[in-house]
Amino acid sequence: AKTAGRNQVRFFNPQMQAEVSARAAIEADLRAGLKAEQFFLHYQPQVDAQGKLVGAEALVRWRHPEMGLVAPGAFIAVAESTGLILPLGRYIMRCACRQLVAWAEQPQWARLPLAVNISARQFHHPGFVEEVCAVLDETGANPLRLKLELTESLLIENVETMISNMNRLKARGVRFSLDDFGTGYSSLSYLKRLPLDQLKIDQSFVRDLLKDPNDAAIVKTIIALGSSLDLAVIAEGVETKAQCDALIAIGCYQFQGYHFGRPGTVDVLESWSEGYHDH
C-alpha cells in the first residue's frame, strides 16, 4: 500500500478502497437525489389466469442526473445500510398513496390494489406503523387498496413486535404479501401466526419450472401451503406462456412477469388494461 498522509485513510486492498468510495459516492448522490426528488415509481401489472388485471406492484426508479434511469438493485442496499431507506421509503409510500388517490377518482381503477415493497430496516424502524398511518391520513388513500410486500429476512428480528405491528396496520385495512417466498428462513410456525394475505413465489422457482422437477415440486408445495393457510398465491418472474400454463396446471392462478407486462409508467399500466374489476 502507498504511504498515507496524516489525515488520509488508505486501504491495503485497492478493490476494497474502490468499493468503499463507490458506496460513498452513491450515498452522497442518494442524499442529493432525495432532496431533488429524483425518485419515482414504475408499476408492473399482476394478472389472473384470464389475463385480467388483479393488481400492480410499485417499483422504485431513480432518474440520476448523470447515469440516467437507475434500477433499485444499484442503490437499495446502500440506502438500507446508510439508513437513507427511511426517508426514501417514506417518499415511496407517499407516491404510492397519491397514486391510489388518483385512481380512486376513476371507476375503472378505483379498486386496484397496489403493492409497495418494504425493506427490513424500514419495517423494524420504531415509527414505521405511525408513519404509514400518517401518510394514509395525509393523502386520504384507502388502506384497503394498499398491500405491503415484506420479505422473510424480516423474520430474523423480533417476531413478536413484527406480528403486533402487522396487526396494527391490518386493523386499518392494510394487507400483506410475503415476497420472494421460498428463498428465506420462515418456519411454518411463524407463517401460521403472521397476518398475511398473500404468498409471492420467488422468481427463481419460476425460471426453471419447466426444466427442474425440484422447482416444480417446491412451487406445488407453496401452492398447497397457501391454500391450507387460506392465503392467495402469486407467481413472479413469469416470462413465457409455457411457464404460465405450467403454473395453471399446478394450481397457481395469479401472475406477474415480463410475459404480461414490464414495469412502466402509470400511463403504460393504464393503457395496458381496460381496468380492474372485482372477481
Where along the sequence are the contacts to Ca ion (CB under 5 A)? 117, 149, 179-180
- The three-class DSSP label of residue 250 is coil
Please name the residue that has the C-alpha cell 425493506. Answer: 119
Inter-residue contact 43 to 267 (CB < 8 Å): no
> Which residues in the 65-124 window bind ligand C2E by CB under 6 A?
71-73, 76, 92, 117-119
Q: How far is the CB of 236 from ligand C2E (least distance, A)?
A: 6
Q: How far is the CB of 227 from ligand C2E (least distance, A)?
A: 23
Inter-residue contact 143 to 173 (CB < 8 Å): yes
Evaluated on CA atoms 144, 123, 152, 70, the torsion sign reads positive
Cα–Cα–Cα angle for 168, 164, 177, nearest 5°? 75
How many separate helices (H) and strands (E) can be counted in the chain?
A: 11, 9
Residues 182-211: x where in contact with ligand C2E by CB under 6 A, - otherwise, as a string: ---------------------x--------
In order of 74, 167, 242, 246, the CA distances from 211 in angstroms are 30, 40, 11, 11
Distance of CA 229 to the CA centre of its chain: 22
Q: How far is the CB of 131 from ligand C2E (least distance, A)?
A: 14
Q: Is 179 in the site for ligand C2E (CB under 6 A)?
A: yes
Query: Distance between CA 98 and CA 253 in Å, rounded?
Result: 29
Q: Which is nearer to ligand C2E, 11 or 197 (CB)?
A: 197
Q: Which is nearer to ligand C2E, 76 or 225 (CB)?
A: 76
Q: Where are the alpha helices (DSSP H) in 179-240?
A: 188-193, 203-207, 213-228
Q: Is 264 in the site for ligand C2E (CB under 6 A)?
A: no
Q: Is 258 in the site for ligand C2E (CB under 6 A)?
A: yes
Q: How far is the CB of 119 from ligand C2E (least distance, A)?
A: 4
Q: Is 59 in the site for ligand C2E (CB under 6 A)?
A: yes
Query: Distance between CA 145 and CA 110 in Å, rounded?
Result: 9
Q: What is the total count of residues that contact ligand C2E (CB under 6 A)?
A: 21
> Which residues in the 140-169 window bind ligand C2E by CB under 6 A?
none
Write out the residues near ligand C2E by the rule CB under 6 A. Answer: 44, 59-60, 71-73, 76, 92, 117-119, 179-180, 203, 236-239, 257-258, 263
